[in-house]
Chains A and B, each alone.
Chain A
Amino acid sequence: MARTTELIVQAQDLERTYESGTAPVAALAGLSLEVPRGEFLAVMGPSGSGKSTLLNILAGLERPTAGRVVVDGVDLGTLDENGLARYRRGSVGIIFQAFNLLPRYRVADNVAFPLLLAGVAPDERQKRAAAILERLGMAPRAGHHPSQLSGGELQRTAIARALVTEPALLLADEPTGNLDSANGEALLVLLGELHARGQTIVLVTHDAAIAARAQRVVRMRDGRLVA
């Protein structure tokens, strides 16, 4: 039992099939995965291997067709839509390849947005957003709009937003995909630092060089983990 509390992610026999035209397509075909607390895990695989589907299921954005996922002690299958929303803004932080910032809001407001949804008071959420931006070296950009930022700055803003709720699990889907090599390298250094401070990270990539920066690498093919 002591071991299970150490596990932040327990995924068992996950299946996910999409109805596509005549034949159903299986994105996940019986995948099981365990992630201990504090691990930096890279999930590697070619496109179409199902790695993004896995990440979306861990993020609570998608439900598996079969199987069970427990994250930080919560069985995601037992949550309704509102419960999943609470899970997304409390237990996980997500970094997307496309950044997915709200263009009309300032950097500080983008970062504070999950706290706004959680009903945190304005003063408190501005304070927390400012603190995380400071930590990521983005404090001078807090009043800017996303259109005024460089790619690296956009991704750091997205990371700040993902971390502002102090999630148990940080998920990253090809986070360097839209960055030049210098910014990509800076991002990987930043993820390494976060990991060093104890943050659990699951990163999805098709790039072996990026995956090599993680503590552990698992490979996927056709919806399954391969050795």
Chain B
Amino acid sequence: MRTSDLIALALGNVGRARVRSTLTIMGVAIGSALVVLLIALASGAEENVKRSIFSIGDLRLVTVQPFQPGSTGLTAVARTITDDSVAKFRLIPHVGGAYRQFDAPLGTIVEGGEDAAVRPQGIEPNAPVDRGDLLAGRHIAPNERGVAVLPGNIARLLAPTLDGAVGKKVTLRLGGAVKLGQTRIAGSGTPRDYTVTVVGVFDERNTSQTSVRIPLDDAIVAAAENRGLAPDDMRKLTGYSGVSLETEDSRWVGDVVTAVQEQGYSAFSLKQVIDQIDEGFGIFRGILAGIGGVALLVAAIGIANTMVMAVLERTREIGIMKAVGAAPRDIRLLFLAEAGLVGLIGGVIGLALGLAGGRLIDAVIRELNPRVNPPSIFVVDLGLALGSLALALGMSLVAGFLPSRRAMRMSALSALRYE
């Protein structure tokens, strides 16, 4: 038998029992729609979480912190990050760059008043923290001193426009007690004033509203003066606040993290967080898919029932077909094709229903809560679309297997005698 004839025969038979076929197809469609909808919901949630993590930073980065995690995870031993240890980090394979960071004492920008409490971060030029989020001006240049890059919210306290803030000279009062939000922090030492020129403004929405980026050496000097030490002693005694290691590619992150930990330091990477999120969402998605799967299973039982009925009703027809030369294989293929058609049509309708339902729920949520504006609540990619069709088709073939075998094994003679 030709494939085109097989499909035409199967289509005719599915169309013949119109009401029953429609009901069975509806069952498959509802199950498929549920699977699509639930998996799309899980994918959408995962995408939103990942998107916000990507906005925090670069997946190629490994952040080294100045302590060694204890065995229980609750205890930690302080470890100093000196220039020697940074030199060792640079030797780890696939580390492309190491950027030191030094946190100066807390303080305020005097011109900004009480709301302008800041945490000055001493960074190196071209450090990963200092890339691509500029709203105005420029980043800190190599060997530059006495400059600062401010968050947008503080720059707006200084000038009506962000560009207007660039070029202003402001006083950083560091050390002593500081009020950060509602909390008053008792700082150490006597406050000292430093005059810096604002060279740039960064977007505070994805990072921090209180960070002020200043040159690394300025931060070390400020901390040393606060403690009454020489800057070089400061480097040796307290060490750096952290080091960002940039790997050549995110696939090396795991290796670099291990190497840093072997040197006795804590290492953190967004890549590993993402991997854990992937794992967690995999389970979440699996559970949701399982719920949809139960609906599909019920639909499969519906298909099996329909096919058993069809085989019984068409016993005589099967006998005639066999008598005029249909091979057992032809009969089996015909009934499998009918089951497959029901599954495929149901799958297509289910996919359409799932997509439409997702859009509708999406629209309703946005309508009810216009302030929450996630990029997308339901995410249906090509893999999910094709996968749901394959699932509906595969499931219907499994459901049609036993009835089609029964039809195939029927004796032509007894089928002909069947009334």
Q: Across the interface, do A82 and B328 meet the contact criterion of CB distance under 8 Å?
A: yes
Residues of A near B325 (CB, < 8 A) are 85-86, 88-90, 114, 117-118, 165
Asked if B324 lies at the interface with its beta carbon under 8 angstroms from chain A, I say yes
| Contacting residues of chain A (22-78) with chain B, CB-CB under 8 angstroms | 56, 59, 61-62
Query: Contacts A85-B326, A117-B330, A119-B2: A102 and B413 contacting too (C-beta < 8 A)?
Result: no
Cα–Cα, bound, A122→B12 (Å): 16
Cα–Cα, bound, A165→B325 (Å): 11
Asked if A197 lies at the interface with its beta carbon under 8 angstroms from chain B, I say no
What per-residue 1/0 map shows which CB atoms of B295-327 lie under 8 Å from chain A?
000000000000000000000010111111111
Residues of B near A116 (CB, < 8 A) are 1-2, 5
Residues of B near A61 (CB, < 8 A) are 322-323, 412-413
With both chains docked as a complex, state the minimum distance between the C-beta of A168 and any C-beta of chain B, in angstroms. 14
Query: Contacts A86-B327, A117-B326: A102 and B1 contacting too (C-beta < 8 A)?
Result: no
Q: Across the interface, do A85 and B320 meet the contact criterion of CB distance under 8 Å?
A: no
| Contacting residues of chain A (97-144) with chain B, CB-CB under 8 angstroms | 98, 100-102, 104, 113-114, 116-119, 121-122
Residues of B near A62 (CB, < 8 A) are 413
Q: Across the interface, do A114 and B324 meet the contact criterion of CB distance under 8 Å?
A: yes
Among residues of B, the one whose C-beta sits closest to the C-beta of A164 is B324
Residues of B near A94 (CB, < 8 A) are 323-324
Q: Across the interface, do B323 and A100 meet the contact criterion of CB distance under 8 Å?
A: yes
Residues of A near B329 (CB, < 8 A) are 82
Asked if B234 lies at the interface with its beta carbon under 8 angstroms from chain A, I say no
| Residue of B320, B322, B323, B324 with most partner-chain A CB within 10 A | B324
Q: Select A101's contact among B2, B320, B326, B413, beta carbons within 8 Å.
A: B320
With both chains docked as a complex, state the minimum distance between the C-beta of B205 and any C-beta of chain A, in angstroms. 67
Q: Across the interface, do A85 and B12 meet the contact criterion of CB distance under 8 Å?
A: no
Q: Across the interface, do A85 and B322 meet the contact criterion of CB distance under 8 Å?
A: yes
Asked if A81 lies at the interface with its beta carbon under 8 angstroms from chain B, I say yes
Number of contacting residues on B, CB 8 A? 21
Cα–Cα, bound, A94→B321 (Å): 12
Cα–Cα, bound, A116→B8 (Å): 11
Among residues of B, the one whose C-beta sits closest to the C-beta of A83 is B327
Cα–Cα, bound, A102→B334 (Å): 15
Q: Across the interface, do A82 and B327 meet the contact criterion of CB distance under 8 Å?
A: yes
Cα–Cα, bound, A100→B317 (Å): 8
Q: Across the interface, do B416 and A100 meet the contact criterion of CB distance under 8 Å?
A: yes
Asked if B371 lies at the interface with its beta carbon under 8 angstroms from chain A, I say no
Asked if A156 lies at the interface with its beta carbon under 8 angstroms from chain B, I say no
| Contacting residues of chain B (194-213) with chain A, CB-CB under 8 angstroms | none
With both chains docked as a complex, state the minimum distance between the C-beta of A56 and any C-beta of chain B, in angstroms. 6
Q: Across the interface, do B324 and A56 meet the contact criterion of CB distance under 8 Å?
A: no
With both chains docked as a complex, state the minimum distance between the C-beta of A18 and any C-beta of chain B, in angstroms. 11
Residues of B near A102 (CB, < 8 A) are 317, 320-321
Cα–Cα, bound, A170→B392 (Å): 46
Asked if A161 lies at the interface with its beta carbon under 8 angstroms from chain B, I say yes
Residues of A near B18 (CB, < 8 A) are none
Q: Across the interface, do B330 and A56 meet the contact criterion of CB distance under 8 Å?
A: no
Asked if B184 lies at the interface with its beta carbon under 8 angstroms from chain A, I say no
Residues of B near A104 (CB, < 8 A) are 12, 16
Among residues of A, the one whose C-beta sits closest to the C-beta of B12 is A104
With both chains docked as a complex, state the minimum distance between the C-beta of A84 and any C-beta of chain B, in angstroms. 9
Cα–Cα, bound, A22→B106 (Å): 104
Cα–Cα, bound, A63→B213 (Å): 94
Query: Taking beta carbons and an 8 Å cutoff, which residues of A are in contact with B?
Result: 56, 59, 61-62, 81-82, 85-86, 88-90, 94, 96, 98, 100-102, 104, 113-114, 116-119, 121-122, 161, 165
Query: Taking beta carbons and an 8 Å cutoff, which residues of B are in contact with A?
Result: 1-2, 5, 12, 16, 317, 319-330, 412-413, 416
**Contacts beyond the supplied A59-B323, A81-B328, A117-B321: 16 A-B pairs with Cβ under 8 Å:** A81-B327, A82-B328, A82-B329, A85-B322, A85-B327, A88-B322, A88-B324, A89-B324, A90-B325, A94-B323, A96-B323, A98-B416, A100-B323, A102-B317, A118-B325, A119-B1
20 A-B residue pairings within 8 Å (CB atoms):
A56-B413, A61-B323, A61-B412, A81-B328, A85-B330, A86-B325, A89-B324, A89-B326, A90-B325, A94-B324, A100-B323, A101-B320, A102-B317, A102-B320, A113-B324, A114-B324, A119-B2, A121-B2, A122-B5, A165-B325
